[in-house]
Structure 1
């Protein structure tokens, strides 16, 4: 309910023209109730994505231990993206231009990308038998996060015929897994 109220108000007034109090009032709850669910106004964009990304460590742990690190990461990300299909696109991906690019939204996105890069870095280091501070686990993690962002943006922009996010992820990650030899 809070997300729906927020999205309606963002569409009507823009992101900057909408306050947490406005969202709470539209949803019929108190300001404190809003903060029971979200730590900031920008967090309303990410709850569905956050829920799926919270499953990523489990998906990573469930990968075949004989798979190379990057392929295992690709499989885990495909599993995490499995619930996103043509009719289930996170609002932020299709309405970003409508709300503009406020620094608060960019910061909330960046913090999420950083957190996921850390999960991927730790996994890659363990799979490679390297210290997480070494260069290769970092490169794998940040390259993967960039590729996932590119895939998600292309998927959202593809419109109603976009298909599942998983297909876009697989297509985007394949050249990385192959060392760009297939592109």
Structure 2
């Protein structure tokens, strides 16, 4: 839950954002494995219980932005009036990319080696990608009258999420000169969407 707006100033940052920033500092200073939840909470100036109000585990603190995108994707899909299921998925992924705060680069990806995240990074991404994959496949299946596990919904979901992830990865690695995320995701999706939509 976000904290109230201060009079005459900008909204205060949510406790989740403050915890994520505290975790990033500690992971950079002493590595992921040597950092505890108690240390993160102390650095953020909140209690251990407050940490668990926002995150279920230490690893979840790395994925604040990606978790928001996972939560929003079904709503973006449901809002589409595009008759082509493939084009509707493209619209939803572009909407999610457009909504991403350009100041919030996922440090878990950008600084994984320095922070010593390793296998936790792979596992965290995998869980979230599978959640997105299931949402997209279910949407395509509903539009086409197929089962979510059928080849076409699985192909559309895998290909389009793979392209979007590729664009996202290049955006992260481009550093301070990076352009808006939606440009990378759009460029990655364009040929994939065209090929699938011609099916």
TM-score of the two chains, using structure 1 as the length reference = 0.89
- Give the secondary-structure state (helix, strand or coil) at the position aligned to 1:130: coil
CA distance in 1, matches of 2:166, 2:121: 18
Which protein, 1 or 2, shows the higher relative CO under an 8 Å CA cutoff with sep ≥ 6? 1
1:95 aligns to what? Answer: 111
Deviates more, 1:133-142 or 1:90-99: 90-99
RMSD of Structure 2 on Structure 1 (CA): 1.7
| 5+ long unaligned stretches in structure 1 | none
**Aligned residue number for residue 17 of structure 1:** 34
- Per the alignment, in what secondary structure is the counterpart of residue 81 of structure 2? coil
Match of 2:52 among 21, 31, 35: 35
Whether the 8 Å CA contact 1:124–1:137 is kept in 2: the answer is yes
- Aligned positions of 1:1-183 closer than 5 A: 1-66=18-83, 68-84=84-100, 86-179=102-195
Q: TM-score, normalised by structure 2?
A: 0.83
Q: How many residues end up aligned between the 2 structures?
A: 179
CA distance in 2, matches of 1:142, 1:41: 28
Q: Give 1:85 shift.
A: 5.6
Unaligned runs of 5+ in 2: 1-17
What is the CA–CA distance in structure 1 between the aligned matches of 2:192 and 2:122, rounded to whole Å?
26
Change (3 A) 1:85 1:31: closer
